[in-house]
Amino acid sequence: MTRADIVVLVLALALLPMLYVKFWHHGAAGDEVRIMVDGKPWQVVSLKHDRRVTVHGALGDSVLEIKHGAVRFIASPCPSKYCIHSGWLHDGGEFTACLPNRVSIEVIGARARYDAINF
């Protein structure tokens, strides 16, 4: 085995864990959030850049915060604030909604870790 063989082997083996984590690891963090207004797609926003998004819904403005690859509601004109209590959504398939304001968000990734969330 030459030195070049060893280099190739080491590189290939180093690549394996990366590929495994990227493609096989279940429940990978989502890349984007799909924002729906009134049941229709409104915008798909990347979770890579920290920012705030204001969504105009049926009752008023819902404000989403995107930070460190996760998203949450931080303000919404609903009485129960259930959307805000849902907290950070991070994994593909995680979903929450402000029903009175008709705004919903879903984290999208490859295959989502969960096909549905029961509550």
Partner 1 sequence: MSSVRTSLTTALVATVLTVALSACGPRPDPVHKEQILAMGTMVNITLWGVDNDVAQKAFTAANQDFNYMQTAYHPWKPGPMGRTNQLLALDAWFSANPSVLPLIKRAKALYHASDGLFNPAIGRLIGLWGFHSDTLPKGPPPSKAAIERLVAQHPTMDDIQIKGIRVRSTNPAVQLDTGGFAKGYAVDRVIDHLRRLGVSNAIVDAGGDLRAIGSHGGEPWHIGIRDPSAPGILAEVDVKGDESVFTSGVYERFYMYKGKRYHHIIDPRTGYPARGTTSATVIGSDGATSDAAATALLIAGPKLWHRVAESMGIKYAMLVASDGTVYMNPAMAKRMHFEHKPPKVVLSAPL
- Between the CA of residue 88 and those of 13, 54, 74, what are the distances in Å? 35, 16, 10
Residue 19 binds to partner 1 (criterion: CB under 8 A): yes
In Å, how far from its chain's centre is CA 57? 21
Burial of 96: CB neighbours in 10 Å, binned 0-12, 13-18, 19+: buried
Figure out which of the listed residues 8, 25, 51, 61 binds partner 1, where binding follows CB under 8 A: 8
Amino acid at 24: W
How many residues of this chain bind partner 1 (CB under 8 A)? 44
Hey, which residues between 47 and 86 contact partner 1 (CB under 8 A)? 79-80, 82, 85-86
Amino acid at 114: Y
By the criterion CB under 8 A, which residues form the site for partner 1?
Answer: 1-2, 4-5, 8-9, 11-13, 15-16, 19-20, 22-24, 36, 38-39, 79-80, 82, 85-88, 93-95, 97, 99-100, 102, 104, 109-111, 113-119
